[in-house]
Amino acid sequence: MNRTAPHSRVEIVSESLAPRSPRILVARPDRIGDVVLSTPVLQALREQYPNAHITFLVRDFVAPIIRGLQDVDSVFIYDPDGRHSGVGGFFRLMEELKAQRFQIAIALHSDLRIAAALYGVGVPNRVGPLSKIHSYLFYNRGSRQRRSLVEMHEADYNLQLLRKLGIRTGSRTLSTKVALSEDKRAWARGWLAENGLRPAQVEDQTVHSSARKLVIVHPGMGGSALNWPENYYVDLIRSIKNEGHDVLVTGGPAESYLLERIKAQALKTEHPIVIYGGSEAGSVENLAALFSEGDLIVAPSTGPLHIAVALGKPVVTFYPPIRVQSAIRWGPYVSDSEDAGVLAPEVYCGQDFKCRGPKCHYYPCMKTIGPREALSEVLRLLARTSLNRPEPLPKVES
């Protein structure tokens, strides 16, 4: 078993490149996990510029867990498939950015259209990774990065860009964050109660310390990395229930077939399971709310895993040995490596970018991570949660 390394610490120094109350744009227009791993940048910026107005540019599907973060003053929705598409959309993007009068723009992902727009509207300080040809033209405070070498965690690559603003590695611990309203938490408690997994109102505030725990298994992913075998998830779910714990299986709208297959396999045993997701899945905020009520989350290398970590939940996760997909760059960003069970095949993989499939001697290597090994990590982490002082459950208004 591989454990993920503790995350970075940063030190705020006195150097300043902008007014004491600058308007700052942070851009991360890609997937959920990428955005969550960008949130330490927001904390570091707030430390350096307490009075700044910080805008976070993201896609619409991730905005619900970003709005409400204390380090974010406003959210800019980037719509490359709609209002910002094509030539007309590019000029609309420029017009909207220009109206914001940003003094600092930090592009954590080198998107050509956003980089060109920031250059076009004349943002004075344009920070970004120097990794593609266009980045050398559009970023005047760029930092040379080759993230494919996987020399550090993705969150630390993001923080490294802030050195151009006088924020350096040092004494202060940062962590990932997501926003979650009390209304959504109340909805999650109600939904779980309706499905027999968690009482909606609890007078006994020690409910979280009971022997029976709620383990949430999120088996799906977007395909950016190799996943654990589907039947292994079923075996793990069965074993967790045999240990006397409750299991909720979650998934996104595109994972309906996966969830139905898992449910069908579970019905063949004496272990029916509760499922949330598929065609009935709500927003990412609903998923985060359910995660907030769980005791432990099991998931592969996917955005929901990073949501779970940002909520302070212990996680068990599976990573391939391929360099750019490995836990070194994409693993749980935790302050205590004991809070995450990171499982990876113990094989030599010479691949940097993608799996060779049947041409590889170890294929399929993810099968070398057995369900018993995963169960061992689940039980270890559940035991740790039992040792911690339980947080009182907020009451749901009737």
9-173: CATH topology is Rossmann fold (3.40.50)
Strands of 181-256, DSSP E: 214-217, 246-250
- What is the spatial distance between Cα 218 and Cα 295, in angstroms, rounded to a whole number? 14
- What is the spatial distance between Cα 217 and Cα 196, in angstroms, rounded to a whole number? 16
Cα dihedral 47→49→51→52 (10° resolution): -120
Give the 3-state secondary structure of residue 250.
strand
**Do 9-173 and 182-387 come out as alike in CATH topology?**
yes
371: which 2 tokens? 């369900």
CATH 3.40.50.2000 fits 182-387, yes or no: yes
pLDDT in tens, the chain (398 residues): 554 544 555 444 434 555 678 999 999 999 999 999 999 999 999 998 999 999 999 999 999 999 999 999 999 999 999 999 999 999 999 999 999 999 999 999 989 999 999 999 999 999 999 988 999 999 999 999 999 999 999 999 999 999 999 887 554 578 999 999 999 999 999 999 999 997 554 544 444 446 889 999 999 987 777 899 999 999 999 999 999 999 999 998 888 889 989 888 877 666 678 999 876 677 899 999 999 999 999 999 999 999 999 999 999 999 998 889 999 999 999 988 888 999 999 877 777 688 877 777 777 888 999 999 999 999 999 998 876 644 443 333 43
Give residue 68's region: left, alpha or beta (phi > 0; psi -120 to 50): left
| Closest among 123, 154, 73 to 319, alpha carbons compared | 154
DSSP track, 107-125: ESS--HHHHHHHHHTT-SE
- 169: which strand partners? 10
* Domains of the chain by residue range: 9-173, 182-387
| Closest among 117, 191, 250 to 396, alpha carbons compared | 191
Any idea which residue has 């591989």 for tokens?
2
